[in-house]
Structure 1
Amino acid sequence: MKTNSIGLDSKKTVELANDLNGLLANFQIYYQNLRGIHWNIKGKAFFNLHEKFEELYTDANAKVDEIAERILTLGETPLHTFEDYTAAAKVPVGKNISEDVKAVRLIVDSLKELLEIERNILEKAGDANDEGTNSMMSDFITEQEKTVWMMKAWLNEDV
């Protein structure tokens, strides 16, 4: 087995970095969706949601940086063009959403996709003995599951 400079199987880290690039692309779309709903939200829930969406996009922006830096740590290059992001993304694109329920539903649907990708990466990271990626995915999953629960509570829906 050939290992890289951090002691991980080189073949497995290339695959993980590719998966992380997919996650990065999806997070960039999610981030942009959050910016859009933050800017365009209207209605009686404006003040609360405007603030919440800002909190979420600030967090998503930090996660984008963490993912890109992890890809670099694994010895690969992070995607960095909108063309790459849109080609690789599974997260739904929200356009001109100003209604509160549609905005919150977009977040829930996006997080469902992100969680699926992250769980797949978590499994592969465990197999590769990649604790750095594993830890990152565990942290992301825990936070996002809580956000889904909160958004579903706001929608008055069961998780």
Structure 2
Amino acid sequence: MRVLLPLLWLLSACTLTLEAVYPGHGITGLRTQDTYCTAGNTRLDFAFDLEGRLDGLELLFLPEGFAPHQARPGERYALLAPIHAGRVQGFLEVTPEGEVLAVSLTSPGSLSLGPQGIIVEPLPHRRLWLRGYTGGLRGPYVRAANPVRPESSPHCDPTW
């Protein structure tokens, strides 16, 4: 008993910390089509590779040269739905003025949202940024590899 008492006293001075780590995610290879139409609405295609799983996705369609922390509330769009690993493809429906009319993800699952009325300033060059959410934790911002330039031709067809 005398040996056990000092051991209990030493063990009480020790602290055991357990940290639960929620599985992470990784967004890589984000690309968009190169142009959008200034004469009418454009279905702006994008794609990226997802490692892991997301509970939600934040999309920012910003003027070129702006960083995510400079985004105004109207330049952000959030999707709250599970998105599974693999090649994710989708599109933003945007007006010539930069208003986002809809967002759709077409794979690996299907998610589509109707008009949300997000308005952004009509500056010529723009870039798409994404940030994923998993278990309430935000991942890093991921910038599209290419900017989106305006196309003023009346026969504009910027499909991928």
By the TM > 0.5 criterion, same fold? no
Q: Whose Rg is larger?
A: 2
Provide TM-score, normalisation by structure 2.
0.27
Provide TM-score, normalisation by structure 1.
0.27
